[in-house]
Amino acid sequence: MSLDILVLGGAHIDRRGRLDGPTRMGASNPGRWLEEPGGGAFNAACNLARLDHRVRLVAPRGGDAYGERVADAAEQAGIEDCPVVFLDRATPSYTAILEADGNLIVALADMALYDFFSARRLRSRSMRDSLALAPRLLCDANLPGETILALATSASRLGKPIAAIAISPAKATRLKSSLPLLDHVFMNVAEAEVLAGARADRPADWPVLLRKAGLRAGTVTMGAGATVAFDETCIALLAPPHLDEISDVTGAGDAFAAGYLSACIAGEPIHEALRHGTACAAITLLSPHATAQNLTPDLLKSGLALVPAAAILS
C-alpha cells in the first residue's frame, strides 16, 4: 500500500460532559455525556482519511474493549490502523467537562500508557518499514519526549518532513528538544508560550519568538482570534470567520492540523494551507463530535468559500 502520511501518537477514548446551563462549581450540574474514540493523532488521521489521503496510524493502546473500539472507528474512517497493543494495560482516556457553549472547564487525561511507547520501539521491523514507506510524518506530544526526538531524527535522516501537534501546555514541553528537527508544530497560544519561553504581544510576533527557540515553521491558533502561520521565509495571518454557534471545541485543533497538512500534500503555499486548516477547524466546531463525520473534500471546498484570504506579512 502506498501512503500519503504516517501518523503516530494518541488514539484513545474521549469522554465529554456538556452542561445544560451556567456552571455551578462545587455542585451537581445537569448535562449530557458523550463518549467516542479520540486523541490528537487519531482525530488528525480521521480528518486526513476523510479528505481522501492514504493514512497509516501507529498508536499505543490497551488490550481491552476500548482499544477494540478505537480500532473499529479507525477502520470505519478509512485509516490503515497499526496499533502497538499492551495486552495487560487499559487504553488511555481523556475526560472533559464543557460549558453549555462548548468551551472547556476542566479535563482529566489518564494517559500513562503512552509513556511505554519508548524510542526503542521505533527500531522494530514494522516501524522501520512504515518510516521508509511514508513520504511525510505527523506525531503528537502524547508520545514521550525521547520518542519524539528519535522519530524526528529518523525523519531528518530519511529526508522526510515531520510535523507535530503540541496537544497541551503540559505536553508541549516534550517537543522542546526536537524543535530544530521538526518541520512544523501546530500549537495554540498557551502551548506556543511554553515552547517560546515568552508571550507575544501581537500574533505577528510569535514567529520571531519561536524561531529563536529553534523552530523553523509552525502555526499558532488563538481561538476566535487571528491565526499566524510561518516558515523560514514567510509569515501569514488570518482571522477565522465568525461562527454563530459552536457545538464543541474538542478536536478543532487536530482538524486544523489535518486541513493544513492536506493542503501541504497538495503543494499549496502556507497562506493557502492556513485557509484550509481554518475551514477544516470551522467544520469541526459545528459538529458535536471531535471529528466531523460528514467531512469530505467537497465540504471542505464549500467551507473555504467562507474563509477570507490570509494576509502575507513577509
Cα 263 to Cα 282: distance, rounded to the nearest angstrom:
16
Residue 31 near residue 101, CB atoms below 8 Å: no
Say which CATH class 1-22+29-117 falls into.
alpha beta
137-140 vs 184-188, strand pairing mode: unpaired
The confidence score (pLDDT) of residue 101 equals 79
Model confidence pLDDT, tens digit, residues 52-102: 999 999 999 999 999 999 999 999 999 999 999 999 999 999 998 988 877
The answer to whether the beta carbons of residues 55 and 5 sit under 8 Å apart is: yes
Across-strand partners of 238? 227
**Contact between residue 17 and residue 32 where contact means Cβ atoms under 8 Å apart:** yes
Q: What is the pLDDT of residue 40?
A: 95
Whole-angstrom distance, CA of residue 209 vs CA of residue 53: 33
Domain boundaries, the chain: 1-22+29-117
Q: How far is CA 139 from CA 103, 263, 277, in A?
A: 25, 18, 17
Nearest one of 203, 173, 198 to 185, comparing CA atoms: 173
Set of cell numbers at residue 50: 476523510
pLDDT at position 161 is 98
Intervals of the chain under pLDDT 70: 1, 247
Instruction: Give the C-alpha separation, 281 to 5, whole Å.
Output: 20
Q: What is the pLDDT of residue 245?
A: 78
